[in-house]
Structure 1
Amino acid sequence: MAEIKVPELAESITEGTIAQWVKKVGDRVEKGEFIVELETDKVNAEIISEEAGILTQITAAEGDTVLVGQVIAIVEAGEGAAPAPAPQVTAAPAPAQEEPKAAPAAPAPVQVVEESSERVVASPAARKLAREKGIDLASISPVDPQGRVRVQDVAAHGIAPVATPAAPEAPKATVAVDESRVTVEKMSRRRQTIAKRLLEVRQSTAMLTTFNEIDMTNVMALRSRKKDQFFESTGSRLGFMSFFTKAVVAALKKYPYVNAQISGDEMHLNNFFDIGVAVSTEEGLVVPVVRDADRKNFSEIEDTIAGLAAKARDKKLGLNDLSGGSFTITNGGVFGSLMSTPIMNGTQAGILGMHTIQKRPVAVNGEVEIRPMMYVALSYDHRIIDGKDSVGFLKTVKELIENPEDLLLNS
């Protein structure tokens, strides 16, 4: 027999949510075969079976929260494991036919619970108790306003006088929601984590934002002239992100406190330049990291960003892809945002927000011209970054993007 446990993924991850079982009870599994997908705060992890055999028991259903080290399934090992489920399935109904008065209470509810477990959100302990008592989880009215069935709900379900008055209270939590007009969706674990961490940043930092605008004329002209040659020589597409990444690295070197973080009463000035690049996915925003961006050329930066974005869309990002960034760039301009105030990522002290390029009239050498302009924003932790440094940092980025040849010469 082999126990399938929730593995240790990282020091900061202590629990996860069962996202999907790809195998069901009675299925044969091979050693190393993927049997369940676990959703954590940072990534989705594929849990495998360490032994070949038959999946005989699943103790946590889809949607359940499980802890690291918790047993979530049992695999009976060996060749003899394959026929094992069959006798169990036929043995349970057999007594039901021979002893119709006593036996139906055991097998019948088990089958009902298996069917309803896909739509009822319940803790593993509650599911276990329900199976032992032969109670259909769908028939239980939970106290939790979000509808999660707990052990107390299962235990109270068997007491008729207590269960009856609880019934009218359950709908009260949903009376205000007109299902014909409102669609209720439970937040995914990742969305809950994003919400929690963004709120923590707002509450635990002295965040301030400064703005500037960049004339994109020169960088757009350079990109237009060089993109075909760049693609032929490197096989990479030349975008704006490599220019901004290079400009940010140069500005961080000039203003090191923007590349720092607070730890207790200490300021840690990072001597590395791991730049996080925000990527939008169906499940929310993720920020994979371009490692050692100061050592990469334009082609390597473009390839790294493209690879990370593809992994994000395919849900293949690993913990190493997401951890340890020193500064972040986010581009709301791809969605048409003209101006916004980005929120810092984790313990970092700054984040640069790019926005859409829009043609506007600007004064150039005393004349009004129509130029492609982009608003940029720097949100920063005012506890360690003064206004002078924040403005100087953003001004450096602006000057380098408006004179892109300087970036090419310094690469």
Structure 2
Amino acid sequence: MIVEHLNLVDFRNYATADLTLHRGPNVLVGRNGQGKTNLAEAIVFLATLGSHRVSADAPMVRDGHEFAIIRARLSVGERRVLIEVQLNRQGSNKARINGSPVKTSELPRYAHVVLFAPEDLQIVRGDPSARRRFADQLLIQRAPRMAGVLGDYDRVLKQRTALLKSARARGIRGEALTTLEVWDDKLVALGSEIIVARQRLAADLQAPLAEAYSAIAGADHRPELEWALSVRGGDPEEGEPAETVALERADIAETFRAALLAKRTQELDRGLTLVGPHRDDLLMRVRSLPVKGYASHGESWSVALALRLASAELLRSESPAGDPVLILDDVFAELDADRRRRLATLTSGYEQVVVTAAVEEDIPEVLHRHVVRIDAGTIIDDRADANTSSSAEASDQTDEGSDA
């Protein structure tokens, strides 16, 4: 898959922006805060229906405006596809494919993107939510229908938790709360499907992860992935160990329901749903030790990069659309010279690579080809005449609207 052209309207610091991209490596160069990462973020949103920087859509809409538009022309084999999403500050987003309205969940069927970013270190070192987010965004690209399952689960979870809080406030206990069983049924059905998909994802990532880690680190430290499931006891979200033995598909719903019953008193006391995929954690090990808390800085970066490379290889092997687009967002500035060279070599063979950097010299030569310069929201293509450069009006937005 190739992103041939990107058009933005009222997205982050851009009033309007047009960016032409080519097959092979593309380099976006500019000082920090000029809008490079905003361009990368827009492409990623089309594939994952989310941002790698914020959990809500509103910060991506330019200050003073009610919605933003992301529009991209994709080349998928011999086909050309125009995909578009309108991000609304309030209400549901809207999407179009070749001009026809579709559900936003349809977009990842066409756009496959893998992003490498400094924030990736939080997947390894941060709290469980960062790892769940990584897994779920990859799930959506692998099976776009999972966007609906995850969205439905979140809605049921909010409604069930609201009921628990209301019951706590009114002093309703035990069997008197009969309506909770209805939400339990929905939570178990949707949550079981998520657990199955996540466990399969971890298993399928294992081989490409080991290969990618060895290529990045230059050593075989036996990286491993396992899900710690709250339905097996414990609470990974709060640091309480949970069993990591994978559950058989047929046993998940029964185990989930039993765990909800076992936690019922605690849930009513706290007004929280304490069991389910929203409390699980993806555990990572190297040399049989947990990465979080034991791995060195270099090992942590190697795991983070290997996770992204393994994701790309998994999508590449499964997608009839060809390679995913790789976006390396300011990542080379974070790496030592050896990891820069290894990562550049491993990614240069993909159909399309987009690299952002504040310092052009940070980019290894193998990726240094088509250069686009970004300056205060103005996009200048080195391949084009200065007179035909694409200009975008930049607002005074200096907080989350600009890349760090």
Q: TM-score, normalised by structure 1?
A: 0.24
User: Which has the higher relative contact order, 1 or 2, with Cα contacts under 8 A spaced 6 or more apart?
Assistant: 2
For the pair shown, the structure with the greater C-alpha radius of gyration is 1
Q: TM-score, normalised by structure 2?
A: 0.24
